[in-house]
Amino acid sequence: MADPYPGMSVRATSPAVDWSEITPSDSANLATVPRALDCAVSGDVVIVSASGNEITITLTAGAPYPVRPVRVKATGTTATGIIGMW
């Protein structure tokens, strides 16, 4: 497959180049800090920042939300099929 942008560097505002499913956890940090979250089924997501701030956001399925959490908590999270993109 040809890549028309082989020499372009990936920046925080670039489109995602990889992603993985996130399993919410109240104790474990994410393996990779994403630059956006999305979900398959809309709902609330409790996220924690690198500085430890916790907030609940509402994700709409198919609408990436540009945040960089270190953890997605299970308690209080109702969205399902959450993916992290970077």
Cβ neighbours around 47 below 10 Å, total: 22
In the predicted structure, residue 12 carries a pLDDT above the cut 80: no
Q: How many whole angstroms separate alpha carbon 58 and alpha carbon 75? A: 14
Our count of domains for the chain comes to 1
Q: Is the pTM of this model over 0.85?
A: yes
Has residue 61 been placed in a domain?
yes
23 part of a folded domain: yes
In this structure, is residue 14 part of a structural domain? no
Q: Establish if 5 belongs to a structural domain.
A: no
In a domain, 10, yes or no: no
Q: Give the residue among 29, 83, 24, 33 at the shortest CA–CA distance from 56.
A: 24
Q: Tell me, yes or no, whether 1 lies in a domain.
A: no
Q: At 35, is the pLDDT very low, low, confident or very high (cuts 50, 70, 90)?
A: very high
pLDDT confidence band for 15 (50 / 70 / 90): confident
State the residue range of the domain holding 51.
19-85
